[in-house]
Chains A and B, each alone.
Chain A
């Protein structure tokens, strides 16, 4: 159970997010929607411990995420828009990076992992359908494949929460759908909470369990995906747009 309560964060006196509260249950896939500049990035930085909110907390179980230091951070995995794989390492070694919060530091320096970790990394690669590409250098993979390696890395971390910041914004529609299907599957099968920001409403409606809508730094919608209708859409993006064209 991940609980964000009363998150507020301002930059130069301007609030980027204000009194943002919502919860993610285990195994739940929550899509965060909202126009550019609504505060999604700030919210995600607070949820991953990269930024400290001015007020409010994000709790993961009994712990405050902002207070998680060092290895404890492994409980929140991050999937980035630009994948952020180490391009000169193989897909396999990139997935093994997910174990760095679990193993002794010297194993990371020498990239020598125990058999169990290597097996887990290969299993994660198998789950994203890239076992055959395990030894390929990350920068030789396509964008969709790279994002799947990044998801395997997140899985190898054995997190309680996966935060994905616009994971499909740089991908073509087919690859994007594949990535969201994977995230949905991980949430269902492993009971991991997934928070994922998206720009396409139809993708959120197809894969998420719940939609949280952010506008001008405040939550304007927090509803199961079935109840995200035209009025909700207009509240989020303004009246000129129409849900059906999306």
Chain B
């Protein structure tokens, strides 16, 4: 018995020893990864010296930010409300648009198989362009203001949400769907009857996730002129008005935290396992 095991161990060690192709490949991969990181380090302009001299500056600004500037708080509150509204309208619009797209882009239930790949490409294109970039384009098209932000958020989220929904539909158990189809129900009746109850919790959960994400993302949309608190953020930075800047950042933190809490509470209420 021991001898058989010993033989097996000897065989095992023999294959591991020596100059094998596997070993060569391993070291080539190591070299490539190392080279990748060296080039990236260089391209990214990582400069620890700059960080060391810059950090004290940041500390100085932080120190000069006290006391906060409270006289403009009503204006900031309005701008933050604008930001939240942008995210809410944009996400809702995106979700509504995502549902029909998700049906077309789900290989297993699509009524138009010919459109499956075009739909997927379209969604990938939407997903590939950030809402920030969309907002930049729409500011030029529809003018300064939160509406450009709404459109930017809606387009990017449309692509992301529809792809996620479609992925969930493709992974869903189709047994109940086929059973309902077998009763003579039409395709959309069967989707509504058998798939929606299964997928709705996931869809609600992802929508809330996108809402949270978009509220955070839209705080900077003002930087490109697409409305909301980002505009004030940029103004304060340009004027080196640190009390104002840090008041805004503090308000953003408070609002985002509260909304995250609200969202996770809502998620627990809406979604029962």
Contacts and interface: CB of A to CB of B under 8 A. Distances in A.
B4 A126 contact: yes
Nearest to B6: A119
B12 A135 contact: yes
26 contacts: A115-B9, A118-B9, A118-B12, A119-B2, A119-B5, A119-B6, A119-B9, A122-B5, A122-B6, A122-B8, A122-B9, A123-B1, A123-B2, A123-B5, A125-B5, A126-B1, A126-B4, A126-B5, A126-B8, A127-B1, A131-B4, A131-B5, A131-B8, A134-B8, A134-B12, A135-B12
Contacts of B4: 126, 131
Interface string B1-44: 11011101100100000000000000000000000000000000
Contacts of B12: 118, 134-135
Contacts of B8: 122, 126, 131, 134
B3 to A, nearest CB: 10
Contacts of A135: 12
Contacts of B6: 119, 122
Interface residues of A, number: 11
A131 B2 CA distance: 11
A138 to B, nearest CB: 17
Nearest to A115: B9
Contacts of A123: 1-2, 5
B92 to A, nearest CB: 41
Contacts of A134: 8, 12
Q: How many of chain B's residues touch chain A, expressed as a range?
A: under 10
A127 B2 CA distance: 10
Among A118, A122, A131, A134, the one with the most B-chain Cβ atoms within 10 Å of its Cβ is A122
Interface of A: 115, 118-119, 122-123, 125-127, 131, 134-135
Interface string B101-140: 0000000000000000000000000000000000000000
Contacts of B2: 119, 123
A119 B4 CA distance: 10
B77 to A, nearest CB: 47
B20 to A, nearest CB: 15
A115 B8 CA distance: 12
A115 B5 CA distance: 12
A48 B123 CA distance: 52
A115 B9 CA distance: 9
Nearest to B8: A122
B13 to A, nearest CB: 9
A85 B12 CA distance: 22
B12 to A, nearest CB: 7
Contacts of A127: 1
Nearest to A123: B5
A135 B11 CA distance: 12
- Max chain A Cβ within 10 angstroms of own Cβ: one of B1, B5, B12: B5
A125 B4 CA distance: 11
A47 to B, nearest CB: 30
A126 B6 CA distance: 11
A84 to B, nearest CB: 24
Interface in B219-259: none
Interface in B146-195: none
A91 to B, nearest CB: 12
Nearest to B1: A126
Quick one: which of B4, B8, B9, B12 has the most chain A CB within 10 A? B8
Ordered nearest first, which 9 A-B pairs have the shortest CB separation? A122-B5, A123-B5, A126-B5, A122-B8, A119-B9, A126-B4, A122-B9, A131-B8, A118-B9
Most chain A Cβ neighbours within 10 Å, of B2, B6, B9, B12: B9
Given A115-B9, A119-B2, A119-B5, 20 more contacts: A118-B9, A119-B6, A119-B9, A122-B5, A122-B6, A122-B8, A122-B9, A123-B2, A123-B5, A125-B5, A126-B1, A126-B4, A126-B5, A126-B8, A127-B1, A131-B4, A131-B5, A134-B8, A134-B12, A135-B12
A121 to B, nearest CB: 8
B56 to A, nearest CB: 39
